[in-house]
Amino acid sequence: MVLVVPELRASRLRVKRWMDLAIGVPLLIVLAPVFALVAVLIRWDSPGPVFFRQTRIGLGGKPFAMWKFRTMVRDAPDALHRALVLPLVRGTADLNATAPQRFYKLAGDPRITRVGRWLRRTSLDELPQLLNVLSGEMSLVGPRPPVTYEYDAYDTWQFERLGMPQGMTGLWQVSGRNRLSYRRMNEIDIEYVRRWSLWLDLKILVKTPRAVIVDGEPA
């Protein structure tokens, strides 16, 4: 299913794109040494590529390949994540059983490498998504891009999350992040789509570093 983005949002999307480029290009240049260091650590820690690409769903339901630093062992299967996420999307999960997982993250995931745990805890694994931002597939700020099997299980109301470009950070990340339920995350993303403004994006960007420190993924 591919959604049609309303034409009235065209000017808003252009403004958002200009901000992404104005901030994203200098940021990528400044972070180049960090990219190099992380690449060395990943190759030292485990065999396999430095980067990981995964199909995600973006603006209007369009799929794209999202970049991340590899945090798992090479060719890690996604069966464990599917088993956790799909009941949450469908509303059939035992909330008491999934509460210790903090949203949709697997506690003690055996696929994650030693360096990968540190990258996830600090959110440094997300930095390569700057490449997606510069290519126009993502924005600096926006709803979290869902994986394909999550998107395929969406209820009708959830498609509104795709009315704006998906982002590296967003309203959900600075509103409680892993402390919130899966449904609440979706509601906050939809709230962002309805309330969007350049000022809101700037406020979210300013709040993101503190949110990463306070609500970062547990080890």
What tokens were used for 2?
């591919």
Dihedral pair phi/psi, residue 200, rounded to 5°: -65, -45
Q: Is residue 19 part of a domain?
A: yes
Q: Is residue 219 part of a domain?
A: no
Which range of residues forms the domain containing residue 189?
7-214
| pLDDT digits (tens), the chain, 219 positions | 444 444 446 777 888 999 999 999 999 999 999 999 999 999 999 999 999 999 999 999 999 999 999 998 887 777 777 777 777 877 766 554 444 444 556 666 778 899 999 999 899 999 999 999 999 999 999 999 999 999 998 999 999 999 999 999 999 989 877 777 888 889 999 999 999 999 999 999 999 998 887 766 543
Q: Is residue 120 part of a domain?
A: yes
Q: Is residue 17 part of a domain?
A: yes
- Indicate the SS3 state at residue 218: coil
Contact criterion met (CB below 8 Å) for 146 and 56: yes
**Domain tally, the chain:** 1
